[in-house]
Amino acid sequence: MFKPRVMRNVKVIDLTHRMFGKLVNLPIYITATALGKLGHPEGEVVLTKAAGTKNIIQMMPTLASCSVAEMMDNALPGQEQWFQLYVNQDRVAVKKLLEKVESRGVRVLFVTVDAPSLGKREKDMRVKFVDDAPDESKHTELNRTQGAARAISTFIDPSLCWDDVSWFKANTKMKIVLKGIQCGEDAVLAAQHGCDGIVVSNHGGRQLDTCRSGIEVLPECIAALKEAGLRDKLQVFMDGGVRRGGDIFKALALGADAVGLGRPFLYGMASYGQQGVEKVIDILAEELTMTMRMCGVTNIKDIGPEYVLANNLNSHIGVAPKGYGFSNAYERMETIDSKL
By DSSP bridging, strand 197-200 and strand 258-261 are: unpaired
> Catalytic pick from 17, 40, 139, 203?
203
Is 241 part of any known ligand binding site? yes
Instruction: Domains for the chain: give ranges and CATH numbers.
Output: 18-327 (3.20.20.70)
Distance CA 329, CA 314 (A): 24
Burial of residue 336, with CB atoms counted within 10 A of its CB: 0-12 exposed, 13-18 middle, 19 or more buried: exposed
CA angle 88, 150, 158 (to 5 degrees): 35
Is 206 part of any known ligand binding site? yes
pLDDT, residue 207, reads 78
Strand ranges (E), the chain? 17-19, 22-24, 28-30, 57-60, 81-85, 108-112, 175-181, 197-200, 235-239, 258-261
Is 272 part of any known ligand binding site? no
Residues 66-102 pLDDT 10s:
999 999 999 999 999 999 999 999 999 999 999 999 9
Each of the 340 residues of the chain gets a pLDDT tens digit; together they read 999 999 999 999 999 999 999 999 999 999 999 989 999 999 999 999 999 999 999 999 999 999 999 999 999 999 999 999 999 999 999 999 999 999 999 999 999 999 877 777 677 777 766 666 556 555 556 565 656 666 656 778 899 999 999 999 999 999 999 999 999 999 999 999 999 999 999 988 877 888 899 999 999 999 999 999 999 999 999 999 999 999 999 999 999 999 999 999 999 999 999 999 999 999 999 999 999 999 999 999 999 999 999 988 887 655 555 666 556 655 666 666 655 5
203 is catalytic: yes
Burial of residue 279, with CB atoms counted within 10 A of its CB: 0-12 exposed, 13-18 middle, 19 or more buried: middle
